[in-house]
């Protein structure tokens, strides 16, 4: 995509395509070490995690399986409602599996706390979380996030899977959206 079309909507590029890929490669090496000798199921959270999942998964030099869930916690606005609904459940039975939830961003952590307790109730061998981005508020959440790409300031960001009203997901970089777009 020619990003100049939306340039006026972004106030700042936080992470370039290269920075994102380099960080995902580092995370993949850590994950490979941590899961050595154990099977691994990546669970992506639609739709935002599509890009992270695709690029993280391709960094592995080992077998991984992938499955997807779609949950909804956001309306058309920019703040979490805390209400979570399953729109699409996993196809896989995760009983006895090592599950690594792959997320794009954690803001309040409400969505993820709910998701982790939901998945944990299905009898997996382990459940861990990998997120590309984490906002400050998320550090207060009770769930431990083992793999974090970048800790970012509390601003609304778009690109690389992250949307505002379903747009900007296809940007290769992550940037802050100018307040005039959503206020
Ligand atoms: P939480 O429940 O507040 O952690 O919200 C998590 C979900 O909200 C993420 O998976 C995103 O879909 C969405 N979200 C949170 N912050 C942003 C943002 O800055 N830009 C776009 N979507 C966001």
Cβ of 108 less than 6 Å from ligand 1: yes
DSSP secondary structure letters along the chain: --GGGTGGGEEEEEE-HHHHHHHHHHHHHHHHHHTTTS--EEEEEETTTHHHHHHHHTT-SS--EEEEEEEE---SSSS--S--EEEE--SS--TT-EEEEEEEEESSSHHHHHHHHHHHTT--SEEEEEEEEE-GGGGGSSS---EEEEE--SS-EEBTTB-BTTBSTT-SSEEEEPHHHH-
Cβ of 156 less than 6 Å from ligand 1: yes
What is the residue-averaged pLDDT of the chain?
90
Cβ of 107 less than 6 Å from ligand 1: yes
| Average pLDDT score over residue span 57-78 | 85
| Average pLDDT score over residue span 2-29 | 85
How close is the Cα of 105 to the center of ligand 1, in Å?
6
Is 107 labeled as catalytic in the residue annotation?
yes
Ligand 1 atom nearest the C-alpha of 163 is 21
Catalytic position from the list 89, 107, 144, 151: 107
pLDDT given for residue 121 in this prediction: 97
Cβ of 109 less than 6 Å from ligand 1: yes
pLDDT given for residue 136 in this prediction: 86
Q: Which residue has the higher pLDDT, 178 or 57?
A: 57
Ligand 1, atom 19, residue with closest C-alpha: 156
Percent of the chain with pLDDT over 70: 91
| Average pLDDT score over residue span 135-141 | 80
Q: Is the pLDDT of residue 168 over 90?
A: yes
| Average pLDDT score over residue span 20-37 | 98
Q: Is the pLDDT of residue 83 over 90?
A: no
pLDDT in tens, 87-132: 999 999 999 999 999 999 999 888 888 999 999 999 999 999 999 9
How close is the Cα of 155 to the center of ligand 1, in Å?
11
């Amino acid at each position: 995509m020619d990003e100049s079309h939306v340039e006026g909507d972004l106030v700042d590029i936080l992470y370039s395509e290269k920075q994102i890929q380099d960080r995902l490669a580092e995370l993949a090496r850590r994950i490979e070490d941590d899961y050595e000798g154990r099977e691994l199921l990546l669970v992506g959270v639609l739709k935002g995690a599509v890009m992270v999942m695709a690029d993280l998964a391709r960094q592995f030099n080992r077998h991984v399986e992938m499955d997807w869930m779609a949950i909804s916690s956001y309306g058309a606005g920019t703040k979490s409602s805390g209400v979570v609904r399953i729109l699409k459940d996993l196809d896989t039975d995760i009983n006895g599996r090592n599950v690594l939830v792959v997320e794009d961003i954690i803001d309040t952590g409400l969505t993820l706390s709910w998701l982790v307790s939901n998945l944990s109730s299905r009898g997996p061998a382990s459940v861990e979380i990998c997120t590309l981005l984490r906002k400050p508020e998320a550090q207060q959440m009770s769930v431990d996030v083992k793999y974090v790409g970048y800790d970012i300031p509390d601003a609304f960001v778009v690109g690389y899977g992250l949307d505002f009203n379903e747009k900007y997901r296809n940007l290769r970089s992550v940037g802050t959206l100018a307040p005039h777009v959503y206020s």
